[in-house]
Amino acid sequence: MQEYQRKQLLERVGRDGSTVGAQIPEAIEVQGEELDLRTFVFEIKRRETIPPGERERVEQAKRNLRRERVDRLTLIEDNAVSYERGEALAESIIGIDRALNALDQLDPVDLEAESKRQAAADTKRWTKFLKKALGHEDANKRNRR
């Protein structure tokens, strides 16, 4: 594989939004075992939340997928494969990323903590706006000098 081709593949894998429109692979070999990835992800997502009995299974699958992603990315980074194999690896990495995104969205959100964080951010923005609108922000800058 040429150096510019390798860089293109790495850029494609690392690009923000690379998973937009990407398909989760039907099946993928992860750590030497065949995983029906698409079926697994849709089965878990259909439930909207991860049942307590399934949580460890999902967490283990996520760890394995992340490990497999690193292994595949390393093959491209080390230029250890042909360009054609690199393209296939890049597509599979993007598919793994898509599956991980779907599984990560199922993690429970601490609504109380999120609400407090939002309220604090709103208060900070409002205070900053009032200081600026009332001219206190400019006065504070002049007094510091």
71 shares its domain with 136: no
16 shares its domain with 59: yes
Tens digit of pLDDT for each residue in 10-48?
Answer: 998 988 877 787 888 888 888 788 888 888 888 887 876
- What is the pLDDT averaged over residues 66-89? 93
82 shares its domain with 37: yes
129 shares its domain with 74: no
The fraction of the chain above a pLDDT of 90, given in percent, is 29
Count of structural domains, the chain = 2
pLDDT value at 139 more than 70: no
- Among 15-19, 55-59, 94-98, which range has the highest average pLDDT? 94-98
pLDDT value at 140 more than 90: no
User: Do 15 and 22 form a contact (C-beta atoms < 8 A)?
Assistant: no
23 shares its domain with 8: yes
75 shares its domain with 138: no
User: So what's the pLDDT on residue 54?
Assistant: 79
Per DSSP, the three-state class of 55 is helix
| pTM given for the model | 0.67
- Containing structural domain, residue 123: 112-144
User: So what's the pLDDT on residue 18?
Assistant: 79
69 shares its domain with 29: yes
User: So what's the pLDDT on residue 72?
Assistant: 92
pLDDT value at 53 more than 80: no
| DSSP letter string, 26-61 | S-EEETTEEE-HHHHHHHHHHTSS--HHHHHHHHHH
pLDDT value at 65 more than 70: yes
Half-sphere exposure of 100 (CA within 13 A, CB side): 17
Chain-centroid distance of CA 112 in Å reads: 24
19 shares its domain with 42: yes
User: So what's the pLDDT on residue 136?
Assistant: 78
